[in-house]
Structure 1
Amino acid sequence: MNRQQFSKYLRGSSIPTIQSLRKICDFFGVESEEITLPADQFKALISARERNRKPQSILDDSPAGQRHTRLLENMMLTSSQDIDRYLGDYYYYYLTPSYEGYVSKSFARLSLKEGICYSHFYERAEPGQAMLDGYEIGKFVGIVFLLGERIQIIDYGVHCQRAISQTILYGATKGSFSLLSGITLGIQGRNSRIPFASRIVFERLSPDTPLRSKLDGIGLYPLDSDTISPAIRARLETAGNLNSPHIFSASEN
């Protein structure tokens, strides 16, 4: 990439292609969703990483820090060897506490890069429920582990790092699969910030469908909408096999 072209990107007189943007992000160690943030938000995000470097290096020098680092590396290595069949695009559905009786239908992409599996989530929120004004499309990035045929995802909001969530899904126990059931744990919209848990269903999408078409399908839908298939609706409404009213569990695949 020549200096003249890069200078045009910095001045805002030219927009990089997807391939060029990926090169820039890889060089600086950031995500494409992060590098397009407003300057003040991007600065705050990078500054937070800078502040975290010193404690992390001190932790790495300790016996406990080295042990935890090895454990995480082994988890990533094991996951990357077994997670290939789950890579790709999905719709995911869950009952949102912000709108009673409504299902959030959102988009997820699981991808592998240099031995680490990443998640990219896109959700459409109503203006009053967006984490930040003007961000009706919420973007979330995270890390994916496959441990004991359970897919575990920890992600955070690109536009608002206060939004951190965890999702655990059943793996495919009978070979091929189209739906994966699980539980997601997060926080309600910006007003109340109430922690909540909800059953969640991932629906595998064809790689032949254009990305724009997939994103056009996301949004909020009534639970009885024709957009929500009976199989997905049943998994969202039906409890798991734990016979306790005090434990919230997922439906098995």
Structure 2
Amino acid sequence: MYAQSRHITKARTMRTAFSQNLRFLCAEAPSIAQICREIGLNRQQFNRYLSGAGLPSAHNLRRIARHFDVGEADLFTDPDHFAAARHPTTAPKLPAPLLHIGTGFADQARPLRRFLGTYHGYFCTPTWPGQVLRSLIHLKEVDGYVVSHTFERAHASDGSIRQRSTYLGLVAERGGRLCLTERPRNSVGALSETILMPEHPHQISYLQGLVVGVSAGANRRPFSTRTVWVRLEEKRTAREALADVGALPKDSPRLDPKVRRLLGDEVPLSVTLDAYPPS
């Protein structure tokens, strides 16, 4: 009887710790619905975890831990210790070369909270002349930083080009503008820079600006061009949004007319070796 009572008490303690730690992790997210979509969990079941009414299966526990980038066992630790470990009172010291740049991206979750979420990004690139590349961008908060995940997927009908790129980046707000620096997930490839601004101060459905990057073609041409981000509705799943990624003709009916207007007829400004005289 005593052993059974201890087992019940331990299970209750685990549920309480897990629910408090999970609520802590969810506090900075735009919505619980978005978290459920990203992890691929049922909202009703996730609410049971949040309330302490139940614990996830081993499979779901692993999915939750991977999403929040924490250890599975850590989710059951004392909530005070868990919170302190996630947000230490003393910030880690950056190496001197990174100090000036790195601190510029710290503590950006609060000023950029209204921009967190998922977008389709549109821009023209020398890799796809006469077309508009539609990418998928997700902005989320991680330890006070705003982190970007960008996915580009496109292929030519003749098979000559097959583009599959994933980028990770950091976002900061400066002077009412969103400044994004990204690098490819692999070790090859150049950094890209994007500066965005809302169309109106209180409207964030459309963000427009400029991007500077390097084309995905064999010649790896640096270029700059206009870009437009369109915020996606929360009810859209990540899989649905990723299915729409690709290269579209500029006159495609699948292209938002407002995006076409904001991009204009401007051809990307690019640099080639021909632009330099022989030495």
Contact 2:198–2:206 (CA under 8 A) maintained in structure 1: no
Deviations 1:192-230 (A, max 9, x none): 011001100000001111111111111110001011122
Task: Give 2:106's match in structure 1, choosing from 76, 82, 87.
Answer: 76
Q: Which of 194-203 and 176-185 deviates more? A: 176-185
- For the pair shown, which has the larger CA radius of gyration, 1 or 2? 2
Task: Give 1:201's match in structure 2, choosing from 225, 228, 253.
Answer: 228
% of aligned pairs identical?
A: 25
State the Cα distance separating 1:188 from its structure 2 match. 1.2
CA distance in 1, matches of 2:189, 2:219: 13
Change (3 A) 1:74 1:190: closer
Deviations 1:17-51 (A, max 9, x none): 4324346x546xxxxxxxxxxxxxxxxxxxxxxxx
State the Cα distance separating 1:177 from its structure 2 match. 2.6
State the Cα distance separating 1:176 from its structure 2 match. 2.7
1:227 aligns with 2:272: no
Task: Give 1:18's match in structure 2, choosing from 50, 55, 63.
Answer: 63
Aligned residue pairs total: 185
- Give the corresponding residue for 2:212: 185
- Give the corresponding residue for 2:150: 121
The residue identity in structure 2 corresponding to 1:138 is S
State the Cα distance separating 1:129 from its structure 2 match. 3.9
Change (3 A) 1:183 1:71: closer
- Give the corresponding residue for 1:149: 176
- Give the corresponding residue for 1:4: none
- Give the structure-1-normalised TM-score: 0.65
Deviations 1:142-193 (A, max 9, x none): 0011111110111111135323211110136431331111101111124101
The residue identity in structure 1 corresponding to 2:64 is Q
The residue identity in structure 2 corresponding to 1:122 is F
- Give the structure-2-normalised TM-score: 0.59
CA distance in 1, matches of 2:207, 2:265: 14
CA distance in 2, matches of 1:234, 1:149: 23
CA distance in 2, matches of 1:114, 1:208: 26
CA distance in 2, matches of 1:179, 1:100: 24
Within 5 Å, give how 1:1-253 maps onto structure 2.
Answer: 17-22=62-67, 25-26=69-70, 60=96, 69=99, 72-73=102-103, 75-77=105-107, 79-126=108-155, 128-130=160-162, 136-171=163-198, 173-237=200-264
Change (3 A) 1:171 1:161: farther
User: Which segments of 5 or more consecutive residues in structure 1 lack a partner in the other structure?
Assistant: 1-13, 28-55, 131-135, 240-245, 247-253
CA distance in 2, matches of 1:107, 1:72: 25
CA distance in 1, matches of 2:145, 2:136: 20
Deviations 1:74-129 (A, max 9, x none): 5522x332100000000000012112110001100001111000000011132644
Change (3 A) 1:100 1:172: closer
